[in-house]
């Protein structure tokens, strides 16, 4: 469920509580926090790096001596070709955030940007400076129309840079629905769209730091001339080299795709995990979520000998990068690994090749919509059911695809007080509310579909006020003799 929860919502809740308290203590003072909140909401969007209304990506890690270049407001027939030549001379790749109507007017320039290996992002259709003050419908049209023209070049931008870097409360939901994210910048020269290019390089280089995403413009300056502008760009590249700052592609700096090479829209979850694929294993075992993942591993390893004895056919839902797939394949006859993210499955396939495992078949699809190819002796899922829109219907569909006596083994989010806070955190990160379910719900869905429930247990942070954050579910499909 799309739920674009943000810092603004949490602050608003705190302000509301404070207002209620002040109404009982001193009513005239109750208007103060409310007024400050409104004032803060008015000015927060003017800061391109401040993710008050939505998550904003604007730079990379400060730990490595590298930066990235981005160009806004093109393509421009006078400036863009010369910028491309300059970048080629220095062996540098950049990201071009294109205005839709200009891309439509100069398709040859868009093709040339892509041919030379640069990345392309969406910068709206018209580039209204005050786009974020317009209605939700206009904002949606500006983004969608920009996407449509850029799709004609065989790409799908997933990064959107709002005009002037200004955001609004309406932006995040629209981006989630488009499978996109907001990418701004961390360093600019105050060139005002190339209206102020005198000493541009000096102003930019004076404050540049490792990890910065630099903002420039590939449009003809009203004053100063294109030759002078290109000299300043040359000075920027030379200055970065002198400071021993490597210029890398924007996607490399920020760790997320700027565009896809296939112009096919996917879900918000697909876009999120496509971007996360390269660092997924590290996140799962080296960050705060490792406790849950290691608990799942321990539970699964304990049950694996009883679930698989050799030669079975297995369906794994939400296989990801293969954290559980390879151990399953070691004991199974065949594994069908399904995931919404092609990038995740590519990593799974690479692991399988490296290990010499030949019995894994991958399918990039939404298991709720794709046909199922049974019979399966085992169906399993590990923290993947939270994304399902209608888990009950999926379980109903699984029944006829089960081999007699086949098993379902699921590890999924359990509804609890502690889980609620992780759901909130995910809503602020992904904009999606991941579903958690109770033991009673899981029992009801399985029995309604004809499965026999073997066991349902709660795990992880069990205490007096919580039955745990994780449900371990095992069920059996009746065999012919039952």
Residue 481 has a pLDDT of 66
- Alpha-carbon distance of 319 to 349, in angstroms, equals 11
User: In 10 A of CB 14, how many CB atoms?
Assistant: 12
Question: Terminus-to-terminus CA distance in the chain, angstroms?
Answer: 39
pLDDT > 70: percent of the chain: 99
Asked if residues 240 and 45 have their Cβ atoms less than 8 Å apart, the reply is: no
Last residue of a domain, one of 263, 292, 322: 263
Q: What distance in Å separates the CA atoms of residue 193 and residue 217, rounded to the nearest whole number?
A: 6
Is 270 within the bounds of a domain? no
- Domain contains 85: yes
pLDDT of residue 276: 83
Residues 6+ apart with CB under 8 A from 286: none
82 within some domain:
yes
462 lies in the same domain as 435: yes
Query: What is the spatial distance between Cα 110 and Cα 103, in angstroms, rounded to a whole number?
Result: 6
Can you list the alpha helix ranges (DSSP code H) found in 53-92?
80-90
CA 241/CA 243 separation, integer angstroms = 5
Please list the residues that pair with 363 across neighbouring strands: 338
pLDDT value, residue 172: 96
Domain span at residue 167?
Answer: 56-263
The predicted pLDDT at position 265 comes to 54
The H or E element that residue 351 is part of is helix 342-355
DSSP state of 372: P
Annotated catalytic residue within 72, 218, 274, 377: 72
Shared domain for 143 and 289, answered yes or no, is no
User: How much is the pLDDT for 272?
Assistant: 82
| 23 and 118 fall within a common domain | no
Those residues of the chain that have pLDDT short of 70 are 262-266, 481-482
Report the pLDDT value the prediction gives residue 5, as an integer from 0 to 100. 94
pLDDT at 270: 83
Nearest-angstrom CA–CA distance, 212 and 216:
13
**Same domain assignment for residues 255 and 392:** no
Asked if 249 and 214 sit in the same domain, the reply is yes
Tens of pLDDT along 43-99? 999 999 999 999 999 999 999 999 999 999 999 999 999 999 999 999 999 999 999
316 and 167 in a common domain = no
Q: Which has the closest alpha carbon to 314: 337, 298, 297?
A: 337
Reported as a single tens digit per residue, the pLDDT across 132-159 is 989 999 999 999 999 999 999 999 999 9
Has residue 481 been placed in a domain?
no
Place of tokens 């790749």: 93
- Six token digits for residue 204: 């930019």
Tally of domains within the chain: 3
Is residue 1 a part of any domain in this protein?
A: no
C-alpha 420/C-alpha 443 separation (Å) is 21
* Contact indicator for 98, 248 with CB cutoff of 8 Å: no
Length in residues, the chain: 482
Do 86 and 26 belong together in one domain?
Answer: no
Helix, strand, coil shares, percent, the chain, to 5: 45, 20, 35
> What are the phi and psi torsion angles at 420 (to 5°)?
-55, -40
Q: Which of 472, 260, 442 is nearest to 364 (CA)?
A: 260
Rounded Cα distance, 54 and 122, in Å? 17
Q: Residue 462 sits in a domain of what CATH number?
A: 3.40.50.150
Q: What is the CATH number of the domain that holds 178?
A: 3.20.20.370
158-178 pLDDT per residue, tens: 999 999 999 999 999 999 999
Of 210, 232, 263, the one marking the end of a domain is 263
User: How many whole angstroms separate alpha carbon 314 and alpha carbon 337?
Assistant: 8
Residues 371 and 289 placed together within one structural domain of the fold: yes
The pLDDT of residue 482 is 65
Tell whether omega for the bond before 394 is within 30 degrees of 0, i.e. cis: no
What pLDDT is attached to residue 383? Answer: 94
**Whether residue 287 sits in one domain with residue 199:** no
Q: What is 97-126 written as a DSSP string?
A: EE-HHHHHH-HHHHHHHHHTT-EEEE--SS
Q: Are residues 175 and 99 in the same domain?
A: yes
Distance of CA 324 to CAs 245, 262, 380, 457, Å? 40, 29, 10, 20
pLDDT given at position 341:
92
Choose, from 217, 218, 339, 377, the residue flagged as catalytic. Answer: 217
Task: Tell me: do 346 and 469 sit in the same domain.
Answer: yes
Report DSSP state, residue 216: E
Is-catalytic flag, 217? yes
Answer yes or no: is 272 within a domain.
Answer: no
Residue 2 domain-assigned (yes or no): no
Residue at 271 is within a domain: no
The maximal CA–CA distance of the chain, rounded, in angstroms, is: 87
Same domain, 40 and 61: no
For residue 198, how many other CB atoms are within 10 A of its CB? 12
């Amino acid at each position: 469920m799309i739920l674009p929860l943000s810092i603004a919502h949490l602050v608003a809740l705190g302000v509301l509580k404070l207002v209620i308290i002040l109404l009982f203590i001193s009513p005239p003072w109750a208007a103060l926090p409310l007024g400050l909140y409104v004032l803060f909401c008015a000015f927060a969007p003017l800061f391109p790096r401040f993710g008050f209304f939505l998550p904003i990506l604007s730079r990379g890690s400060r730990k490595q001596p590298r930066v990235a270049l981005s160009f806004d407001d093109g393509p421009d027939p006078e400036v863009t070709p010369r910028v491309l030549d300059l970048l080629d001379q220095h062996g540098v790749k950049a990201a071009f955030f294109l205005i839709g109507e200009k891309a439509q007017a100069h398709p040859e320039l868009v093709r040339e940007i892509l041919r030379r290996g640069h990345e392309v992002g969406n910068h709206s259709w018209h580039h209204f400076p005050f786009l974020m003050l317009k209605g939700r419908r206009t904002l949606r049209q500006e983004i969608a129309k920009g996407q449509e023209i850029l799709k004609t070049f065989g790409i799908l931008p997933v990064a959107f840079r709002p005009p002037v870097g200004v955001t609004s409360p309406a932006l995040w939901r629209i981006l989630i629905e488009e499978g996109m994210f907001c990418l701004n910048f961390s360093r600019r020269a105050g060139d005002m769209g190339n209206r102020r290019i005198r000493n541009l390089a000096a102003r930019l280089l004076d404050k540049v730091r490792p990890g910065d995403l630099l903002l420039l413009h590939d449009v003809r300056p009203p004053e100063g001339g294109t030759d002078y502008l290109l000299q300043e760009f040359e000075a920027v590249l030379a200055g970065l080299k002198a400071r021993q700052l490597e210029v890398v592609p924007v996607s490399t700096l920020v760790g997320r795709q700027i565009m896809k090479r296939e112009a096919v829209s996917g879900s918000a979850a697909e876009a999120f995990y496509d971007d996360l694929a390269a660092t997924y294993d590290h996140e799962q075992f080296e960050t705060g979520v490792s406790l849950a993942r290691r608990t799942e591993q321990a539970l699964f390893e304990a049950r694996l000998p009883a679930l698989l004895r050799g030669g079975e056919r297995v369906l794994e839902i939400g296989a990801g990068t293969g954290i559980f797939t390879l151990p399953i394949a070691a004991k199974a006859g065949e594994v069908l690994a399904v995931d919404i993210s092609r990038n995740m499955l590519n990593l799974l396939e690479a692991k399988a090749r490296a290990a010499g495992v030949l019995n894994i078949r991958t399918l990039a699809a939404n298991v709720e919509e794709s046909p199922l190819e049974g019979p399966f002796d085992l169906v399993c899922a590990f923290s993947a059911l939270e994304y399902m829109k209608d888990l009950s219907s999926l379980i109903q569909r699984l029944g006829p695809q089960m081999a007699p006596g086949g098993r379902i083994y699921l590890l999924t989010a359990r509804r609890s007080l502690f889980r609620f806070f992780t759901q909130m955190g995910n809503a602020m990160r992904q904009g999606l509310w991941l579903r958690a379910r109770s033991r009673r719900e899981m029992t009801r869905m399985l029995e309604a579909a004809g499965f026999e429930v073997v066991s349902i247990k709660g795990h992880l942070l069990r205490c007096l006020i919580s039955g745990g954050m994780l449900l371990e579910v095992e069920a059996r499909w009746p065999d012919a003799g039952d």
